[in-house]
Amino acid sequence: MYSRQEVMINVPGGQVWSELIYNESTKHNPALVCLHGGPGSTHNGLKFGLAKLAKFFPIIFYDQLGGGNSSLPEDDSDHADLWQVERFVSELACVIEYYQLEEFNLFGTSWGSSLALEYLFSDYLPKPQRLILGSPLISTGMWLEDANVLKQQMPAEIYQCMLECEYNDTTDSAEYKFAMEQFYDRHVLRKSELGDAQLSYLADNPSYFNIEAYHSMWGPSEFYVTGNLIELERFDDLQQIAIPTLFIGGEFDEACPSTLALFQEQVPDSQLVIIAGASHCGYFEMPQPYAAAVKKFLLAD
């Protein structure tokens, strides 16, 4: 039997929604703080895949400002200053402080992995005991190299459409959106492969995606970057990580397994797990093997 507590936490720029899920018998174990991707996404998919692990340790989810249950203040102000890496790091620090965490583990997926690393390398305390980087964005340059390879593997007409729309700045066109959907179904969320449980969850749990944050920090699509994350580069800093670290991704991930292997080689005390049949949202597509890998890593001696 799990206990659940939902709260609103004050952070720079507003409030964020958060949920703590725990089992009474294991509530004193180090909590797992989960950082969703995007920027601008929500906790929903992570909750589907990982909430069951609250049997073994508390789990903390939250929606980053502007997305999901963490809506922006209703005013006409310019929000551009909110969509900065430093503010998101401060936001995470506020969540950790709210729960008075002294010992905890940190999980980030996609952009959430970027956020986890920025917190780890910041002056904020306390630091996590263990780190999980799921399908991570660590180097935008390396991400785009992978994206270009995957784009070229798409049908010729789809690839050509991507190139033309990006060159002509027509990424808001129906043609580009269709091309995006084809790419996403292969490498981001393989909707055509989802089972009834996942499809029902998507239907029953609609969520607000913060497209403003996504466009400001990333760009029009997963494979075309125009935002302020374009210069993100932490590859050379990976060797500084001094805590046990798990890299986890999917077989068909846009964060390519070969690139995750390069990341893992840089971190002294680290492991790499690739989930067969999964893409970028492996925690949602293949929740059983994904959660099992997370559990094994966090409960290891």
For the annotated catalytic residues, the residue numbers are: 110, 253, 280
Structure tokens at 158: 């789809």
3-state SS, 45-108, equals HHHHHHHHHHHCCCEEEECCCCCCCCCCCCCCCCCHHHCCHHHHHHHHHHHHHHCCCCCEEEEE
Q: How far apart are CA 158 and CA 154, in angstroms?
A: 6
Residue 30 DSSP one-character state: P
Q: Which residues have CB under 8 Å from 284's CB, separation 6+?
A: 45, 46, 48, 49, 189, 198
Centroid of chain to Cα 277? 19
Closest CA to 128 of 115, 137, 119, 139: 119
Q: How far apart are CA 15 and CA 162, in angstroms?
A: 37
Structure tokens at 138: 């660590």
Q: What are phi and psi of 132, to 5 degrees?
A: -120, 125
Q: Are 229 and 235 spatial neighbours (Cβ–Cβ below 8 Å)?
A: no
Q: Which residues have CB under 8 Å from 267's CB, separation 6+?
A: 238, 239, 241, 245, 247
Q: Are 36 and 70 spatial neighbours (Cβ–Cβ below 8 Å)?
A: no
| Residue showing tokens 């949602």 | 284
Q: Are 149 and 256 spatial neighbours (Cβ–Cβ below 8 Å)?
A: yes
